[in-house]
Amino acid sequence: MSALRRLNLDVVWWLVTPGNPLKDAEIYAPFEQRLHRARAFADHCDIVVSDFERRHDLQYTVDTIERLQLLNPTVQFIWLMGADSLATFDQWKDWQRIAELVPMAVFNRPGYTENALDSVAATTLKNFRIDENDPEKLLQSDPPAWIYFSDTNNSLSSTALREGKNK
83 within a domain of the structure (yes/no): yes
Whether residue 3 contacts residue 80, with contact meaning beta carbons closer than 8 Å, is answered with yes
Residue-wise pLDDT for 102-146, tens only, equals 999 999 988 889 999 999 999 999 999 999 999 999 999 999 999
- The whole-angstrom distance between residue 113's C-alpha and the CA centroid of its chain comes to 16
- The whole-angstrom distance between residue 57's C-alpha and the CA centroid of its chain comes to 19
Query: Which pLDDT value is given to residue 20?
Result: 67
167 within a domain of the structure (yes/no): no
Give the C-alpha distances (Å, rounded to integers) separating 94 from 5, 124, 135, 152.
29, 14, 25, 27
- pTM for the model stands at 0.86
Number of structural domains (the chain) is: 1
Instruction: State the CATH number of the domain containing residue 130.
Output: 3.40.50.620
Q: Which secondary-structure segment (H or E) carries 74?
A: none
38 within a domain of the structure (yes/no): yes
Domain holding 43, by residue range, is 2-162
